Structure formats: structure tokens, C-alpha cells
Amino acid sequence: MSNKPVRLGLFIVLALSASLPALADVDGQHLYRQHCAKCHAEDGRANTLRGWLYFAQNLSKVKWQDNNSDSDILEAIQDGPGAMPGYADTLSEAEQLALVKAVRDLRKP
């Protein structure tokens, strides 16, 4: 009995899976709306009731954006400063990095 059909099938599966979009194409905006907007608001200004109650950071401020590095933002996402929950165990590394980009995109001139 030959293993050629099995090997051919395995080769096809591997070739197809390599051509699929990478999981790194995570929608950071969707994650932001899902996990962050209830306190930080859709536009990042933290002008929600929850934002006011929990003293959420206005993520759209130029000064805040300039004073915080990507690693600072990533650390806040992972550890959760103040009343904010940490997402280190909830979100994958790719999702956390997508959220950093989503936060950067909130910068207002």
C-alpha cells in the first residue's frame, strides 16, 4: 500500500494553510470597541459615564500620546492601571499589539 495519496493530501493542506491570511491581521478597532470604548469612548476622549466614574484616561490628547511610548500603552493593556482590568491573559500578543495601534489612531490634532 502506497502513502503517496496521504503525502499528496498533506502537501495540499500545508500549501493552502500557508496561503491563508496570517492571524496577525487582527482588527484592533473592533477590539477597542469591544474592550475599551465603554470607558474611553469611541473617540478615546473618555467622556462616558463609566469613564468619569473610573477616571479613565483621555487617549486622544496629543500630550498624553506624546508622553507615552508604545511599550507604556502595551503595559497598561496587559496590567490594567487603576480600575482598568488587565488583558495579558485575555488577549493574544497580536491582539494586544493591534490595540496599541488602535489607541495610537485615536490621537487628535
- pLDDT tens for each residue of 61-79: 999 999 999 999 999 999 9
- Whichever domain contains 64, its CATH number is 1.10.760.10
pTM (two decimals): 0.76
Pairwise CA distance, residues 105 & 44, whole Å: 9
User: Is 2 part of a structural domain of the chain?
Assistant: no
Residue 100 is assigned to a structural domain of this protein:
yes
User: In a 3-state reduction of DSSP, which class is residue 3?
Assistant: coil
The verdict on residue 12 lying in a domain is no
Q: Domain range spanning residue 27?
A: 23-104
Q: For residue range 7-61, what is the model confidence (pLDDT) as tens digits? A: 555 555 455 555 444 445 899 999 999 999 999 999 999 999 999 999 999 999 9
Domain assignment of residue 7, yes or no: no
Residue 1 lies in a domain: no
15 occurs within a structural domain: no
In a domain, 3, yes or no: no
How many structural domains is the chain composed of?
1
Whether residue 30 lies inside any domain: the answer is yes
